[in-house]
A and B are shown apart, each in its own frame.
Chain A
Amino acid sequence: MNGSVTIVEELQNRFGAANVSEQATCDEFPTVWVPQNRAHEVLRYLKTEVNRPYGMLYDLSAIDERLRANRPDQPESDFTLVYHLLSFQRNEDLRVKVGLKGEFPSFPTITNIWPSANWYEREVWDMFGITFDDHPHLRRILLPPTWKGHALRKEHPARATEMGPFQLPEDKQEREQEALRFRPEDWGLKPTTGDTDFMFLNLGPQHPGAHGAIRFMLELDGEEIVNVVPEIGFHHRGAEKMAERQTWHTYIPYTDRIDYLGGVMNNLPYVLAVEKLAGIEVPDRVKVIRVMMVEFFRLASHLVWYGTFAQDVGALSPVFYTFNDRERVFDIVQAITGGRMHPSWFRIGGVAHDLPKGWDTLVKDFVRYLPRRLKEYDKMVLRNRIFKARTQGIGTLTVEEAIDWGMTGPGLRSCGLEWDFRKKRPYSGYDQFDFDIPTGQHGDCYDRALVRVEEMRQSLRIIEQCLQQMPPGPYKADHPLAVPPRKERTMHDIETLITHFLGVSWGPVIPAGEAFVGIEATKGNNGYYLVSDGSIHSYRTRIRTPSFAHVQMVPLLSCGLMVPDLLAILGAVDFVLADVDR
C-alpha cells in the first residue's frame, strides 16, 4: 500500500541514517528520532516536500524523561517533544521525536509550518516549561496565569495534599482577578484603526451560548467581529497528571469525563491502547458489545448537539425533544451498565459485565423508535428556512484549511473529505459492519449539521447489526493482565494467591512500551498515547482530544461575521469544554 520504500527509509535517504533512528513501539506507527538541529527541516520536509505529504499536525506533546527507567533503544534526553503527524494520502501516521537536554530547554516554534501548533506549543510550555523560540504568544493556556511551576513535570506535586492547604486571602483574590483582565494590547489588538473605534466584548466564561466555561474576547465593529481571542483552561482538571498516579484500571473512570457527553466512547481508545501495550486480544463478543455501546453514546452526544445547536440559532423546542430521546438512550445504557452518563464500563480486556437478559428487546424498540423522530426533527430544524438562512455559508472551511488546523470528525467530513477512522483504520471490529460515511460539500455550519444527522442514522444501522449478530462467548479476555486468577485456585497454592492479591490490591503491571490508539469519537478524533515504564501506572498519558483543535479554529471561522454567527459556529463545531481542557 505504501510502495516499496517506507517513510523511515525515505527520511534516512534524505537526511542520512545517522540523523534518523527508528524506535520500536507497541502500535503500528513508525517512530523516528531526529536530532534537535535537523528537526525543523525534517518536519517541513514531511509537510511540504515529501511525496504524499503528512498534512496534519495531529498532536504535539512532550514527555518528561528524567525518571524513566526503561528506554532501551532511544537516544538520551531530559525532555522529549513528540510530533504526531497524519497523512491522509498514505493513511499513515508518523511520530517524530526530538530529544531535548537541560532543566528548562528551548526549541524553535513550528507555528510557521503548522498554524495549529500554536496552542499545542503553549500547552507544552505551560505543562513542561519548554520554551518555543519565536512563538507568537507563548503564555499559559490551561493553567491560570498566576500558577507557579509546570504541572506535568515529574517534580510537580500530583495531589492537593502535597501542596499545602489552599487559601484565598483578599489580596490574592484581587491578584487573581486582575490576572484575568483582558488587555487587548497583549494580543496585538488595537482599540482603534483610523476612524473606527472597536468595542471589546467579553463573551464568557459564563455565557448561555458558550456551552460551558470558556471565554471569547471579541473585537467588534458594531456587531461585526473583527477578531476573536478564545481563552480556555477554566475546565482544566489535570487529567493527564492524574493518569500518572492512578493504576491502569482505576484511571478508566477519569476517561469518561474527558468528553463528558461521550461516556464509554472515551473508555474505548484508552483500553484499546492498554490492550496494545499488554498484548491482550479481546473475544469477539467484547468487540461487538463495545461497538454497540459506543454507537449509543454517539447517538446520545449527537442528540444533545442537535437540540442545543437549534437553540443556539434561537429555536426553543428541539432541545426538549432531543433530550427526551437521549433519555431513552440512557435507559438502555442504564439497563446494560448500571450507569448513565459516565458508566466507566469498559475494562482492560473486556467489559464489566455480560449483557443483561432482555437487552435485545430494549435495543430493538429503540431502533424502531428513533428514525421516526429524526424525520420529524429534519422537518422542524434542517428544513426550516430561517435555520438555513442562519447556517448556510456561515463558518465555511476548505479541506486544506481543515487539515492544516487539525480538524477531524464531522467537521472534516463536512468539507468533503471522506475520512472516518472506523472505515479507514477499523478498530474493535468495525470492518465487520456495513455503514456509510456521510460527507458534506461546503464545510459550513449547515453541512456540519447534515453530516451529524446522517451519522445518527448510520449509528442506528450499526446498532441494528450488533443486535442481529451479537456473538456468544465470554465478555472478557482470559489474560493474566486482564482478569485476576480464579478464586477457587487461590485457595490451593500460595503463588496464585499472591498473584491474585497483587492484581487486586495494586492492579496489573503493564509491560514497558509506548502505544497510541485513536478512534472516531463523537466530536472528532480522540486518542490516547500511553507510555508505560513497566509499572502499575502509566509513566505518561497524553490525551489527544478533537475539541482542543476545533476551538483553536474558532477565530478562523468567525472573523468578519457577526455576533449571532459566532454562536451558530460554536454550536456547529460542537465542542465539550472538558474535552478542550482535560
Chain B
Amino acid sequence: MNEIIRSLIIVVGVLVVMLSISAGLIWLERRMLGLWQDRYGPNRAGPFGLMQVMADMIKILFKEDWIPPFADRPVFVIAPAVVVVTTLMSFAVIPFAPSIGVVNLNIGLLFFLGMAALGVYSVVLGGWSSGSKYSLLGGLRATAQMLSYEVFMGLSLMGVVILAGSFNLGDIVEAQRKMWFCIPQFIGLVIFIIAGFAETHRLPFDLPEAESELVAGYHSEYSGMKFGMFFVGEYLGITLISAMIVTLFFGGWLGPVLPPLVWFLLKTLVFVLGFILARASLPRPRYDQLMSYAWKVLLPLSLLNLVVTGGIVLAVG
C-alpha cells in the first residue's frame, strides 16, 4: 500500500514539477534573452515579471480554439498532443535522485530514444495537416532533420552504454562515481548536444520553424492552446535533453555536500541556460547545410567514437 502511494506521489510530483518548470522556463528564457540583448524582458506582472507566465497561460487558454477550414481536422488536433505526451513519458525513466524516479527501467535509454523518435510525428503531422504551404515546408524540413539527427543521437550514446555496461539510467549514473563520462566520452557529449538541439528544434536548428523564412513553419496555422502545447512541448524538450545530458555525461545526481536532487536540478539548469544562450548568439544554417553536416561530419564522427570506445574497453577489460 505504502509503495503505491509513494509511486503515485512521485508520478504526480514529476508531472507537476516538469510542467511548471517548462512554464517557468518561458519566463526564464525571456528574462535571460532580455539580459543578453540589452533590454528588460517581462518585468511588469508580479515580482520580476514572474506572473507573466500566468497572464500568458490565461490568455492562451481563453483564446478561440480555431481550426482552419482547409486543415485535416483529427490529425490537426492530435499533433500538438503528441509532443507533450512523448516528452513527458521520457521523464519517467530519468532518475532525479537515488530513490526518486517514476520507473527503473533496464532499457531506460532505449525508451528515451524511442519516445524522442515518436515526438517527431508531432511536428511532421502538424505541418502536414495544416494544409498550408508554409507549414508543409516546415514539416518537410522537420522530417529530414529529425531522421538524420535521430541516427547519430542514438549512436553518440552507445559509448556511454559501453562504459557503463547498461541501458539503465540509474546504473549509468552509478557508473560515473569515479569519473563523469563527459571526459572519456567528450566526442559523444558534443554530438549528443548537437543532436539535442536538432531534436528540440531550437536555434541554430530551428529550421522547421524559421520565422524569418517560413513565418512560423509547422505551427503557422495553430493558435490558442494547441499552439500552447507545441510551445510547452518545446520547453519540456529542452528540460528533457538537459536532464539527459546531466544523467549520461555529468554524473546525474552525484555531487558533494548538497542533496542529490538539488545537484541534479542545478546541473540541468546550467544546460538549460546553455540552450537559451545559443539561441541568443547563433544564426541559422541552411537546410541542406544542416543535412550535409549531419551525414558527412557527425555520423562518421559518432561511428568513430563508438569503434574507438569499444576497442579501448575491449583492450583494457
Contacts and interface: CB of A to CB of B under 8 A. Distances in A.
A564 B291 CA distance: 14
A315 interface: yes
B281 A314 contact: no
B34 to A, nearest CB: 9
A199 interface: yes
A387 B283 contact: yes
Contacts of A8: none
B89 to A, nearest CB: 31
B31 to A, nearest CB: 14
Nearest to B280: A317
A313 interface: yes
Interface string A171-203: 000000000000000000000000000010110
A386 B33 CA distance: 20
A208 B211 contact: yes
A508 to B, nearest CB: 47
A562 B288 CA distance: 9
B213 A567 contact: yes
Interface string A285-317: 000000000000000000000000011111111
B287 A223 contact: yes
Taking each of B36, B133, B204, B283, which has the highest tally of chain A beta carbons within 10 Å of its own beta carbon?
B283
A384 interface: yes
Nearest to A313: B283
B281 to A, nearest CB: 6
5 contacts: A199-B133, A313-B284, A314-B284, A321-B38, A384-B282
Task: Please provide the 6 A-B residue pairs with the shortest distance between their CB atoms, ordered closest to farther.
Answer: A314-B284, A315-B283, A320-B37, A209-B212, A314-B283, A313-B283
A145 B279 CA distance: 43
A546 to B, nearest CB: 23
B215 A208 contact: yes
Nearest to B205: A314
B203 interface: yes
B37 A312 contact: no
B197 to A, nearest CB: 12
A384 B283 CA distance: 8
A18 interface: no
A314 B206 CA distance: 9
Nearest to A310: B283
Interface in B2-58: 33, 36-39
Contacts of A316: 33, 37, 203, 279-280
B283 A390 contact: yes
B285 interface: yes
Given A314-B282, A324-B38, A564-B213, 10 more contacts: A311-B212, A314-B204, A315-B282, A315-B283, A316-B37, A389-B286, A390-B289, A562-B286, A563-B214, A564-B287
Interface residues of A, number: 30
Interface of A: 199, 201-202, 207-209, 223, 310-317, 320-321, 324, 380-381, 384, 386-387, 389-390, 562-565, 567
A564 B210 contact: yes
B158 interface: no
A201 B281 CA distance: 30
Contacts of B243: none
B61 to A, nearest CB: 26
Interface string B229-240: 000000000000
Given A320-B38, A320-B39, A562-B288, A314 B212 contact: yes
B212 A390 contact: no
Nearest to A314: B284
Given A199-B133, A316-B33, A320-B39, A386 B215 contact: no
B146 interface: no
Contact of A317 (B137, B281, B288): B281
Interface in B276-317: 279-289
Interface string B130-166: 0001100100100000000000000000000000000
B282 A563 contact: no
B285 A386 contact: yes
A340 B38 CA distance: 22
Contacts of A201: 133-134, 137
A390 B213 contact: no
Contacts of A208: 211-212, 215
Contacts of A313: 212, 283-284
A223 B286 CA distance: 11
